[in-house]
Amino acid sequence: MTRIPEEDRDIFEQAIYLPMVLTVLNQDLLIFGKSPFKLKKPYEELVEETMKVIQAELAQVKRYMKKNGMKVERLQTDDAFTMYMFLYKGYEEHHNYFNPRLRNRVEELLRHFLYQRFYTRNANASKEA
């Protein structure tokens, strides 16, 4: 049984997923640079601006973790699972994540940061008007 409250577990997971999303976007940026798009600059700018938003969110996560005595570390990876160690206020817990689930969650976050966050913002603005 975990001693970590759900809100803090979500923070740990953000500390796992957000760097993965940045890695994917970095790789995509390199591909855009080498690909034969006629007008590649708008795609590169979209990815760069998205990365800035993710980096700002990751910085908040890191500050929160430092302030609350939290640390996450990847211990081992095999074909099916990746194990992470969560250090939380003096307690150590190991959590296994199914690799396809990690990939799917990173894909969900990519969708969110690339375009769904704009729909949410527009929907909220419409409700307020």
pLDDT in tens, 82-128: 999 999 988 999 999 999 999 999 999 999 999 888 886 666 666 66
Tell me what pLDDT residue 116 has.
87
Tell me what pLDDT residue 72 has.
97
Tell me what pLDDT residue 122 has.
64
Tell me what pLDDT residue 124 has.
63
Per-residue buried b or exposed e for 51-67, using 16+ beta carbons within 10 Å of the residue's own CB: beebeeebeebeeebee
Q: Return the ∠ at Cα 23 (arms to 46 and 106), rounded to 5°.
A: 85
Q: What is the mean pLDDT of residues 22-37?
A: 92
Tell me what pLDDT residue 119 has.
83
Tell me what pLDDT residue 110 has.
96
Q: What is the mean pLDDT of residues 4-15?
A: 96
